[in-house]
Amino acid sequence: MMPELRVLYFEDLSVGLSETLSKTIATSDVVGFAEITGDRNPIHLSEHFAARTPFGTRIAHGLYTAGLISAVLGTRLPGPGAVYISQSLNFRAPVRIGDTVDVTVEVAELVPERRRARLTCTCSVNGETVLDGEALVKVPTKAESDPLAARKG
């Protein structure tokens, strides 16, 4: 799931512009996330333990799912050069290994004087929202990114 890079500058954005990424969650994703974060909660790693929880099976880390939002922001909308300012997250339902998560990011508001974009973020599995929230990002202008290109028009 390495999304192709797309660079959008602040002037390329408009309210309603959106991007979606899909990722099927593998055991290796969950184990890898546990390794890099140190979050070894057995609900994520032990089928035996997870079977005794209300979920009945292992689930992905909530912040792994949230990290898929970062993949959209950093690679597609707005893309390389965007800087996270803040992110709110509401965890609505579990994500299980084997689930395909559809991550949609949509421009909700633009703040030109600060070059900020407020983005709604939704992660869903089979049409059910599993996570939602908002991100605020700083987006470079074309002139900031390449002053010579901006002068050429």
The CATH number of the domain where 82 resides is what?
3.10.129.10
Q: Is residue 29 part of a domain?
A: yes
Band (pLDDT 50/70/90 cuts) for residue 65 is very high
Counting the structural domains of the chain, the total is 1
List CB contacts of 35: < 8 A, sequence separation 6 or more.
none
- On the question of pLDDT at 21 being above 90, the answer is yes
Q: 115 lies in which domain range?
A: 10-141
Q: What spatial distance separates the first Cα and last Cα of the chain, rounded to whole Å?
A: 35
Would 147 be classed as within a structural domain? Answer: no
Which pLDDT band, with edges at 50, 70 and 90, does 1 fall under?
low
pLDDT tens-digit series, residues 93-137: 999 999 999 999 999 999 999 999 999 999 999 999 999 999 999
Indicate whether 35 belongs to any domain.
Answer: yes
Lowest mean pLDDT segment, chosen from 27-31, 72-76, 140-144 = 140-144
